[in-house]
């Protein structure tokens, strides 16, 4: 195969090709092949969700968060979108020789506070120290286990006419990290949306029994995540440009830097596919919670079997929204 590039970790087309052609081919089994945010497993008479993720964000501290809280919230969210209540988390840290001890203490305190906020326990872990130059200050891996309380979430359940809902403005996390990394100011501080979604998702799933599927739009952003959903459902998705929530500072930053907000990573947002008749109820539930303010119904599932994602533009046109190609912003999570 070709040499690995940053694009293979972008969350976009190159990463999906790498996963499908190498990892899925080598490790293939019915659970892994579902390609969900978490594996849903039967253990005795219990159904649990299990997930893992690694965090290499640069810089490690940014407006609205840091690598520590990001690792905890990201793991909690991957469990939550699968209808599971996060219970236990492991933490593995790869630390570069020479890292200031006060920096490590700050990260650990942040993880402890994030775990308390999300109601999970950090129950096991591992620490490695590598020579200076072998990693960038600190990399963190987390794995999480949760108990499934809402079953049946699957792209197989998605049907034409279903509503596509996003829980709030997109792109905040990516612009927050980029502004700190590059020392760019956009007139106002853009804070990451990094946050635990467990309580918000629990409220949504209590309010509606017609939620088909959920996913958080991290690497690759809203556009790539919608493409993943469309491929899984084997149905098209049409979204309305005027309805996609983007905060003015994020939009201004995108215009200045030539970025598309549809491809920017979020760390505290969830995409919900639900029956059309339950869309308004879910929107009301989201809007009543601080974590769901700014939620919008942005489109619907179509009968297009090509599994394309289309954007109906403000100008009245229509364009295909494909998966991210290459790497817009590396080291974003």
Residues 95 and 160 in one domain: no
Mean pLDDT of 143-165: 97
**Domain-embedded: residue 330:** no
pLDDT confidence of residue 13: 84
Residues 74 and 174 in one domain: no
Q: Which of 118, 148, 178 is the last residue of a domain?
A: 148
Residues 106 and 162 in one domain: no
Binned at pLDDT 50, 70 and 90, residue 98 comes out as very high
pLDDT digits (tens, 9 = 90+) for 52-76: 999 999 999 999 999 999 999 999 9
Which domain does 138 fall in, by range?
Answer: 36-148
Residues 276 and 261 in one domain: yes
pLDDT confidence of residue 6: 85
Q: Which of 133, 148, 163 is the last residue of a domain?
A: 148
Mean pLDDT of 135-139: 97
**Domain-embedded: residue 10:** no
Residues 163 and 220 in one domain: yes
Residues 187 and 295 in one domain: yes
Binned at pLDDT 50, 70 and 90, residue 174 comes out as very high
Percentage of the residues of the chain whose pLDDT score is greater than 70: 99
**Domain-embedded: residue 272:** yes
pLDDT confidence of residue 186: 77
Q: In what order do the strands lie in the sheet with 271-274?
A: 211-215, 271-274, 163-166, 296-301, 237-240, 309-312, 318-320
Residues 117 and 241 in one domain: no
pLDDT confidence of residue 9: 83
Are the beta carbons of 120 and 73 closer than 8 angstroms? no
* Burial of 181 per CB tally in 10 Å (0-12, 13-18, 19+): middle
* C-alpha 141, offset from chain centre: 16
Residues 6+ apart with CB under 8 A from 2: none
pLDDT confidence of residue 249: 95
pLDDT confidence of residue 15: 87
> Looking at residue 175, which CATH number applies to its domain?
3.90.650.10
pLDDT digits (tens, 9 = 90+) for 219-240: 999 999 999 999 999 999 999 9
Residues 75 and 173 in one domain: no
Q: Count how many domains the chain has.
A: 2
Q: At what angle do helices 248-257 and 172-182 cross, to 10 degrees?
A: 60
Binned at pLDDT 50, 70 and 90, residue 2 comes out as confident
Q: Which of 148, 177, 197 is the last residue of a domain?
A: 148
Task: Tokens for 243, please give them.
Answer: 């309805």
pTM above 0.75, yes or no: yes
């Amino acid at each position: 195969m070709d040499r690995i590039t940053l694009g293979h970790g972008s969350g976009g087309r190159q990463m999906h090709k790498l996963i499908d052609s190498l990892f899925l081919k080598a490790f293939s089994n019915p659970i892994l092949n579902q390609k969900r945010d978490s594996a849903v497993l039967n253990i005795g008479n219990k159904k649990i969700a299990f997930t893992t993720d690694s965090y290499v964000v640069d810089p490690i501290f940014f407006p609205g968060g840091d690598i520590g809280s990001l690792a905890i919230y990201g793991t909690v969210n991957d469990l939550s979108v699968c209808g599971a209540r996060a219970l236990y988390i492991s933490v593995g840290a790869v630390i570069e020789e020479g890292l200031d001890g006060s920096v490590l203490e700050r990260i650990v305190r942040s993880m402890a506070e994030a775990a308390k906020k999300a109601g999970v326990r950090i129950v096991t872990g591992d620490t490695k120290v590598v020579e200076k130059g072998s990693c960038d200050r600190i990399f963190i891996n987390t794995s999480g286990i949760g108990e499934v309380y809402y079953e049946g979430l699957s792209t197989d359940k998605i049907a034409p006419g279903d509503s596509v809902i996003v829980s709030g403005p997109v792109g905040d996390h990516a612009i927050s990290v980029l502004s700190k990394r590059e020392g760019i100011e956009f007139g106002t501080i853009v804070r990451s949306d990094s946050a635990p979604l467990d309580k918000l998702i629990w409220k949504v799933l209590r309010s509606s029994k017609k939620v088909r599927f959920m996913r958080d739009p991290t690497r690759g952003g809203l556009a790539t995540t919608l493409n993943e959903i469309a491929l899984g459902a084997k149905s098209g998705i049409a979204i309305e440009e005027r309805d996609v929530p983007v905060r003015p500072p994020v939009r201004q930053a995108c215009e200045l830097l030539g970025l598309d907000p549809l491809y920017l990573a979020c760390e505290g947002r969830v995409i919900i596919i639900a029956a059309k008749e339950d869309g308004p109820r879910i929107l009301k539930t989201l809007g009543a919670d601080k974590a769901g303010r700014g939620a919008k119904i942005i489109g619907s599932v179509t009968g297009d079997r090509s599994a394309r994602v289309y954007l109906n533009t403000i100008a009245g046109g229509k364009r295909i929204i494909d998966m991210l190609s290459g790497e817009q912003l590396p080291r974003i999570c």
